[in-house]
Homo-oligomer: A and B are copies of this chain.
């Protein structure tokens, strides 16, 4: 049994797990693009050009939600089905692969990982992978089904949709929400439902559960049964940071848009708060909007830029550099300011190499975003606030837009395609590649200290 599991392990190229992930996404994108180019994928029956199909396929499989054509009017039912399939595959794929990679890192480094009960082995077997896949699928389908039912009931009961239409709308938006994909079957996203808590709240719950990430949700579900043991560091950091950013985002959007006559201004108090809350959740990279972002104050856009860049939880359907990476850097700075030689977080010590990996992921992300913004500014005629928002939305796989996506020239849309791909797979594969790598240095040079600051 042990022998068979070792052979199974060797069959996958574990030394470069990132390549498997990237190859999988490339194949999925190619198939999705080909299917979307078929004439009967569109409502008009005309074949779609390569760039539009490619952009849509990447946006769907990377669960971003940026669109160059209007989803409900441009695509046929078949086209929408392809998009929904790509979202589901992309979401399940990233959740599974990121969880397996995190488990692999934990095992290799001999750390406790809270996906399963503590095991003694330092290697990862096929059995572990199967349990992750089964867990992810079980969690995803359960959540999606529950939210789909709630939404379908509301669509049928309140909006008088025929039964099967209500079911279809419920399933589509549940899958899109849980996978933080942001695709909607309404041309104005969720703006028409801005004041309907029975639509917004199930969607917010699906977004948060998908966005916290499988390791966190899986531990929370198991812990509920066996009380007394403390949560893992990763779960505590993720829940606290995700929650804190949700509050900061909601309060900031509510305050900065309170008097804006084109957004929150006309709403009454409790609808202001509901919409404010939903717009605090969405930059955790879900990408639905219940307000028109083209009318947002520049202040709100910039605050959203920061929140979208940070993103959601690791090994979930959210994007960005991840709340864990952000929190880890914040704790490093706090320790440095306090003059502590090692970094203590909630009663645990952070390994030095994890600090350097967080730094690397965050600063490379800044570099990618700045480079892409400069490039997109150069090839388009939009203002910095719109372009920066679009770039971070693509990189963070958020899908919110001030409305410029379709108007960006082809070369700019290619930049967005690259950003979605890099943003979806970059932080995950880079962090695990960094952690898993052999460290071959066999000599040391004399130390010398340059001046800092």
Residues of A bordering B, CB below 8 Å = 102, 105-106, 109, 111-112, 213, 215, 232-234, 237-238, 256, 297-299, 301-303, 306, 314-315, 321-322, 324-325, 327-329, 332-333, 336-337, 339-342, 344-345, 347-361, 363-364, 366, 370, 373-374, 377-378, 383-385, 387-388, 427-428, 430-432, 434-435, 437-441, 444-453
How far apart sit A112 and B431, CA to CA, in the bound complex (Å)?
35
Measured between beta carbons, the chain B residues less than 8 angstroms from A111 are 447-449
Measured between beta carbons, the chain B residues less than 8 angstroms from A215 are 451
Q: Is the CB of A444 within 8 A of B349?
A: yes
Nearest-CB distance from A37 to chain B (Å)? Answer: 33
Q: Is the CB of A384 within 8 A of B302?
A: yes
Residue of B nearest to A434 (CB): B336
Measured between beta carbons, the chain B residues less than 8 angstroms from A350 are 447-450
Residue of B nearest to A314 (CB): B451
Copies of this chain per assembly? 2
Q: Could you list some 9 contacts between A and B, CB below 8 A?
A: A112-B448, A302-B370, A322-B452, A325-B453, A333-B363, A352-B352, A354-B449, A354-B452, A384-B388
Residue of B nearest to A315 (CB): B451
Measured between beta carbons, the chain B residues less than 8 angstroms from A327 are 450
Q: With contacts A349-B448, A448-B232 known, is A384 near B298, CB below 8 A?
A: yes
Q: Is the CB of A444 within 8 A of B342?
A: yes
Q: Is the CB of A435 within 8 A of B452?
A: yes
Nearest-CB distance from A366 to chain B (Å)? Answer: 8
Residue of B nearest to A303 (CB): B374
Nearest-CB distance from A101 to chain B (Å)? Answer: 9
Interface of A is mostly: helix
Measured between beta carbons, the chain B residues less than 8 angstroms from A377 are 297-299, 302
How far apart sit A360 and B336, CA to CA, in the bound complex (Å)?
7
Measured between beta carbons, the chain B residues less than 8 angstroms from A303 are 374
How far apart sit A20 and B231, CA to CA, in the bound complex (Å)?
46
Measured between beta carbons, the chain B residues less than 8 angstroms from A439 are 339-341
Q: With contacts A340-B441, A385-B384, A388-B384 known, is A360 near B333, CB below 8 A?
A: yes
Identify 4 new A-B residue pairs, CB closer than 8 A, beyond the known A111-B449, A299-B378, A384-B388.
A106-B449, A234-B449, A298-B387, A357-B453
Partner among B233, B357, B453 whose Cβ is within 8 Å of the Cβ of A448: B233
Residue of B nearest to A358 (CB): B452
Q: Is the CB of B384 within 8 A of A359?
A: no
Measured between beta carbons, the chain B residues less than 8 angstroms from A345 are 450
Residue of B nearest to A301 (CB): B384
Measured between beta carbons, the chain B residues less than 8 angstroms from A232 are 448
Q: Is the CB of A445 within 8 A of B234?
A: no
How far apart sit A322 and B350, CA to CA, in the bound complex (Å)?
28
Measured between beta carbons, the chain B residues less than 8 angstroms from A325 are 452-453
Partner among B233, B385, B428 whose Cβ is within 8 Å of the Cβ of A383: B385
Residue of B nearest to A99 (CB): B451
Q: Is the CB of B302 within 8 A of A374?
A: yes
Residue of B nearest to A255 (CB): B378
Q: Is the CB of A348 within 8 A of B448?
A: yes
Measured between beta carbons, the chain B residues less than 8 angstroms from A388 are 384
How far apart sit A111 and B329, CA to CA, in the bound complex (Å)?
27
Q: With contacts A339-B439, A383-B384 known, is A432 near B453, CB below 8 A?
A: yes
Measured between beta carbons, the chain B residues less than 8 angstroms from A302 are 370, 373-374, 377, 384
Instruction: Please list the 7 inter-chain residue pairs (A to B) with the smallest Cβ-Cβ separation, ordered nearest first.
Output: A431-B453, A427-B453, A384-B385, A348-B448, A314-B451, A234-B450, A339-B437
Measured between beta carbons, the chain B residues less than 8 angstroms from A297 are 377-378
How far apart sit A105 and B348, CA to CA, in the bound complex (Å)?
30
Residue of B nearest to A336 (CB): B360
How far apart sit A438 and B340, CA to CA, in the bound complex (Å)?
9
How far apart sit A117 and B370, CA to CA, in the bound complex (Å)?
42
Partner among B434, B445, B450 whose Cβ is within 8 Å of the Cβ of A337: B434
Measured between beta carbons, the chain B residues less than 8 angstroms from A322 are 451-453
Q: With contacts A348-B447, A351-B447, A446-B349 known, is A256 near B378, CB below 8 A?
A: yes
Nearest-CB distance from A293 to chain B (Å)? Answer: 14
Measured between beta carbons, the chain B residues less than 8 angstroms from A106 are 449
How far apart sit A347 and B450, CA to CA, in the bound complex (Å)?
13
